[in-house]
Structure 1
């Protein structure tokens, strides 16, 4: 065997930079601790102006720090206003990074601050809600440009840590992770949905007495919904339409998406359609699917 045949090239180690940001009270600290537990080197409350310097240092020594997570938020006060400029600097330098934005409903953020007995960093002499409003305005463009928006409204610290673990426990997301969520339109749109489908074109089992007490998780309701005219064609065409979008997500280095399916109350039609949609999406290559029923059990 020749020396050339004996030689096996070693793939160089590439560093990974994750920028963790979002609303105060949405769980950045919990996310940072979960990342640290899984081997990430975490830097908390870094001024945005130092992002480029730190990222360049890591890119030069990827073996010593292959996975770096940086928590950047409004605690840096006026320095935070330059974060988009700092991120654009990373992009122009060719440094690979992702941005995860943690969010939650305003009333939940207020409750978390009240429970922790801490002021919001932007409230000044005003109320907690004033600080939240100011922060939302400041972060609006950053949220829109983030790779992943994770809504922690209904998560406790353990659920959030589990979500972070599933997304970033190894070498970052290695498959496209889809969250298929059923919901009720009367309770509002999911704030973190990338796609929203409307199942209200299907006749409502609520108006059939023998089906009303049951849910879309039960066979009699599921069969009724999926056998209705247009349901099968809708699901098939929706999966077909999503395939090129999901492939584009991979090309753009996006690894997480929430697909929401709504009906009036989130009990019958959206639940049955979401379950069936998830089954079919799970058959696509390099896709991992989870199902969540946001409003199931609400009256």
Structure 2
């Protein structure tokens, strides 16, 4: 369920031999582009921030000196001479180059969360000038909408922590194409929305809910007592066996197809008990099968 209009598995496909990996990072102001660029730098990309659009073709010209591994370039509304239509034309031209493996990463975020981020940091939105920050956000959303639609990967950071965003970047854009499949197993609350980055989503709201047991309500799915309550549900054993079997069957198939990153999400009402328990349990099952697994709890903070 990746929000990626240009294809379901572009980042996960095998890179063409002999090509230079190029990530164009763009998106809404305040949506996490700085964090994304830092994550790409940590992966080994040479990073260039706020490049004027006119310099893009020259930087990537066939005769130019290129980094040995890959380059990540941030081009957005702040960049001198930025124009959405011109950006799309240049991207189309670069995608046609046989020596480049180019992908566009668009960072998106809900308007209310963006406004809150600007209020908390007291920064001025680049499109707001003397107007309210919400006016600047709305204008930028309109100007960037065509670029969002054309992007290879769209990451909505509305509900992501900085560490979760870094994990997603690491899985989507690995420079080591032999690193294999990286699996993230996530818990979430349906009340806070589906995780857009999820490839597979399981609704576990049918399982016995510890929330209605006063002694268990303050706990989480990591607690033994909470787990025991969930496992006591008469349907749990069969569900657990079927899901575990299906995923241990599917994950190697995704890896065989060259996918580098897979997100499996378990959702319940509050994102605290049943989804956390299942994410931890399935994460353990997949680790025992030899897979690289990270477990993320999107909507629960642990003491």
TM-score by length of 2: 0.73
The offset of 1:31, in angstroms, is 3.3
The corresponding residue for 2:128 is: 123
Unaligned runs of 5+ in 1: 1-11
* Number of residue pairs matched by the alignment: 282
Q: 1:9 aligns to what?
A: none
Give the alignment's Cα RMSD to 1 decimal: 3.8
Residue 95 of structure 2 is aligned to residue 91 of structure 1: yes
- The one of 72, 91, 95 aligned to 2:75: 72
Correspondence for 1:292 among 290, 296, 299 = 296
- What is the alpha-carbon distance in structure 1 between the residues aligned to residue 45 and residue 181 of structure 2? 21
Matched, 1:133 2:141: no
Tell me the distance in 2 between the aligned counterparts of 1:242 and 1:91.
36
Query: Aligned partners of 1:233, 1:53: CA distance in 2, in Å?
Result: 59
Matched, 1:147 2:150: no
Deviation at 1:126, TM superposition (A): 3.0
CA contact (8 A) 2:157 2:165 kept: no
Q: Which has the higher helix share?
A: 1
Aligned to 1:46: 51
Q: Quote the offset at 1:132 in angstroms.
A: 1.8
Residues 1:216 and 1:140: Cα distance change in structure 2 (over 3 Å):
farther
Deviations 1:148-194 (A, max 9, x none): 626275535x7766875787686478333333221222233335434
Identify if the C-alpha distance between structure 1 residues 81 and 277 changes in structure 2 by more than 3 Å, giving closer, same or farther: farther
Residue of structure 1 in register with 2:222 after alignment: 217
When residues 78 and 22 of structure 1 are mapped into structure 2, their CA distance, relative to the original with a 3 A threshold, is closer
Give the TM-score normalised by the residue count of structure 1: 0.74
Once the two structures are TM-superposed, the CA of residue 202 in structure 1 deviates from its matched residue by 1.1
Unaligned runs of 5+ in 2: 1-16
Query: Which structure is larger by alpha-carbon Rg, 1 or 2?
Result: 1
Name the structure 2 match of 1:6: none
Asked which structure has the greater RCO (Cα within 8 Å, sep 6+), the reply is 2
| Structure 2 residue matching 1:102: 3-state secondary structure | strand
Q: 1:162 to 1:78 in 2, by over 3 A?
A: closer
Q: 1:14 to 1:188 in 2, by over 3 A?
A: closer
Distance (Å, rounded) in 1 between the aligned partners of 2:178 and 2:133: 35
Q: Would the alpha carbon gap of residues 248 and 97 (structure 1) be closer, same or farther in structure 2, given more than 3 Å must change?
A: farther
* Pairwise CA distance, 1:47: 4.4
Please give the alpha-carbon distance, in whole angstroms, between the structure 1 residues aligned to 2:47 and 2:282. 37
